[in-house]
Amino acid sequence: MQISLDYTNMMADAIGAEYGVSDDELAALSSRTAEIHAQICQSREQGELPFFDLPEESEMLAEVQVLAAELRQSFENIIVLGIGGSALGTAAVMRALSLTHNLQGSEQRPGAPRLFVLDNVDPDGFSAHLALCHPAKTCFLVVSKSGATVETSCQFLLARQWVETAVGTQNFQDHFVLITDPENGVLRALAQQHGYRSCTIPPGVGGRFSVLTPVGLLPLACAGVDIAALMQGAADFAKKVCHGDLMTNPAYLNATLQYLAYQKGLKISVMMPYSDRLRDIADWFRQLWAESLGKRYGLNGQELFVGPTPINALGTTDQHSQVQLYMEGPVDKVVTFIAVDRFANDLKMSKYDAAPQLDYLSGHSMAELIGVELLATTAALTRNHRPNCTLRVSEVSPESVGALLYLFEVQTLFAGYLFEVNPLDQPGVEEGKQFTYALMGREGFEEKGREYASIQSRSKPRLLDC
């Protein structure tokens, strides 16, 4: 398994000096990189960045494998209840490694249950998925670090009622695994006092860095993904991104290129895999990048707002949707392509006599075409002075996906240091949560309810009914 980063078209000699990065700019950041790396090492030593060491947690892996084997024996459906970091990694890896898993007629791995990731509180979506499953054959993995996530709490209450109605008050707990903090929160209390099985999210690992904990590993293992290989891929790749040399550490280098582009006014960062399997890796990354770097801070009494806006796209599909804008719209984007060298399948086109206009395709394969289209799009963007780079993986496998996850996590952490924000918190979502509690009538949030009312009353309502 190999990964390469081609950043030719990020540089000034390829796309011009206005938006291109120069060698001098990179060189100027190399000592800063070494400093940040030293800080990261120190934080790791102090136990503040445990996500780095997850791929080596063989005991955690073994425990998950045992539990997953048990669940696979007992259930036909595994339903993840979780949102944000509790859901996105699982969904992304599942798609990468088992593309049509839940579809009728698909060649499921032997004995693997279906896996649904329900990450919303839409009653139509929730009901439609429950309707596919028999409660006696269904296990819910309830994922919330704090145990207090309102969406997950709602899902859990409803799923519990649904299962209890079907299997009775004695056994419904067997249909749940609670994945949460080792000590705190309502889910942990339930596990301790009411006979639910549970898994632990290691302390200090935030939601968006948790895919390589039971949060992601348990559901993936249930569905038949080789989580040992996933972890091994991350562990092997860790060696390549845990040193302080800017020009040879792909995580640091990619973060730095993105940072420099942002400084030049390119505040939108597109990630565009040319691979159906890798599509949702870009969606998982969207949370990682947005929530880690999108931050407000005060500097000399002035309020500053920073953070690149991540966008997920899919090649070739979005060539017919977004590329017009990337090519001719405002110069405010960096595109990171993800290329795949070898697909598991390929299909060769043969000549069709009735359509000589299509002869130019005969003898070529679909894998060739998708590869060529990526090169063509790259060239066209470059000629239009639009910065772009390409991450290339030799193939989509548990190992390469594990490596990508690790790469992007380290890249995001490092970018946090460059942008001088805390990449591990998310203070900006707090107020919305509190308004939600207030509007749900939760005790203790009455003041927030009054604030909500005052925001509403402040401005003239503008409503167009049609």
Which residues are identified as catalytic?
291, 320, 433
Among residue numbers 409 through 448, which ones bind a second copy (CB under 8 A)?
Answer: 426-429, 431-443
The token duo for 108 is 């499921």
Q: Minimum distance from CB of 216 to a second copy (Å)? A: 15
DSSP category for residue 53 = G
Stretch that binds a second copy, among 41-49, 60-68, 215-223, 369-377 (CB under 8 A): 369-377
The residue (of 28 and 440) whose beta carbon lies closer to a second copy is 440
The residue (of 63 and 267) whose beta carbon lies closer to a second copy is 267
Q: What type of residue sits at position 199?
A: C
Q: Minimum distance from CB of 84 to a second copy (Å)? A: 3
Candidates 119, 280, 399, 409: give the one binding a second copy (CB under 8 A): 119
Among residue numbers 29 through 88, which ones bind a second copy (CB under 8 A)?
Answer: 83-85, 87-88
Q: What type of residue sits at position 463?
A: L
Sign, CA torsion 287/290/293/296: negative
Candidates 328, 341, 420, 447: give the one binding a second copy (CB under 8 A): 328
Q: Minimum distance from CB of 4 to a second copy (Å)? A: 5
Nearest to 64 by CA among 217, 235, 234: 217
Give the Cα separation of 147 and 155 in Å (integer): 12
Q: Minimum distance from CB of 62 to a second copy (Å)? A: 28
Q: Minimum distance from CB of 146 to a second copy (Å)? A: 11
The residue (of 70 and 451) whose beta carbon lies closer to a second copy is 451
Stretch that binds a second copy, among 11-19, 30-38, 58-66, 227-235 (CB under 8 A): 11-19
Candidates 55, 113, 135, 307: give the one binding a second copy (CB under 8 A): 307
Stretch that binds a second copy, among 3-11, 42-50, 198-206, 218-226 (CB under 8 A): 3-11
The token duo for 380 is 């066209």
Q: Crossing angle of helices 88-97/214-222, nearest 10°?
A: 40
The token duo for 211 is 């895919």
From residue 330 to residue 359, the character string flagging contacts with a second copy as x (rule: CB under 8 A) and all else as - is: xxxx---------xxxxx-xx-x-xx-xx-
Give the Cα separation of 451 and 454 in Å (integer): 5
On the CB side of 291, CA atoms within 13 Å amount to 19
Asked if residue 298 binds a second copy (CB under 8 A), the reply is no
The residue (of 186 and 228) whose beta carbon lies closer to a second copy is 186
The residue (of 64 and 307) whose beta carbon lies closer to a second copy is 307
Asked if residue 146 binds a second copy (CB under 8 A), the reply is no
Candidates 19, 274, 337, 406: give the one binding a second copy (CB under 8 A): 274
Sign, CA torsion 322/326/332/333: positive
The token duo for 4 is 């390469």
Asked if residue 110 binds a second copy (CB under 8 A), the reply is no
Asked if residue 365 binds a second copy (CB under 8 A), the reply is yes
The token duo for 422 is 């805390």
Q: Which residue has the tokens 């709490």?
A: 153
Number of residues that bind a second copy (CB under 8 A): 162
Sequence-distant (6+) residues with CB within 8 A of 424 are 206, 209, 292, 416
Give the Cα separation of 453 and 263 in Å (integer): 39
Q: Cis ω on the peptide bond leading into residue 169 (within 30° of 0)? A: no
Among residue numbers 212 through 251, which ones bind a second copy (CB under 8 A)?
Answer: 237, 240, 247-248, 250
Candidates 59, 73, 107, 168: give the one binding a second copy (CB under 8 A): 107
Roughly how many angstroms between the first and final C-alpha of the chain, as a whole number? 57
Asked if residue 309 binds a second copy (CB under 8 A), the reply is yes
Q: Crossing angle of helices 250-263/30-45, nearest 10°?
A: 120
Q: Say if residues 120 and 403 touch (Cβ distance below 8 Å).
A: no
The residue (of 65 and 394) whose beta carbon lies closer to a second copy is 394
Give the Cα separation of 418 and 28 in Å (integer): 13
Q: What type of residue sits at position 325?
A: L
Sequence-distant (6+) residues with CB within 8 A of 258 are 269, 308, 334, 415
Candidates 211, 221, 311, 334: give the one binding a second copy (CB under 8 A): 311
Asked if residue 287 binds a second copy (CB under 8 A), the reply is yes
Q: Minimum distance from CB of 398 to a second copy (Å)? A: 15
The dihedrals phi and psi of 214, each to the nearest 5 degrees, come to -55, -25
The residue (of 264 and 267) whose beta carbon lies closer to a second copy is 267
Q: Minimum distance from CB of 456 to a second copy (Å)? A: 7
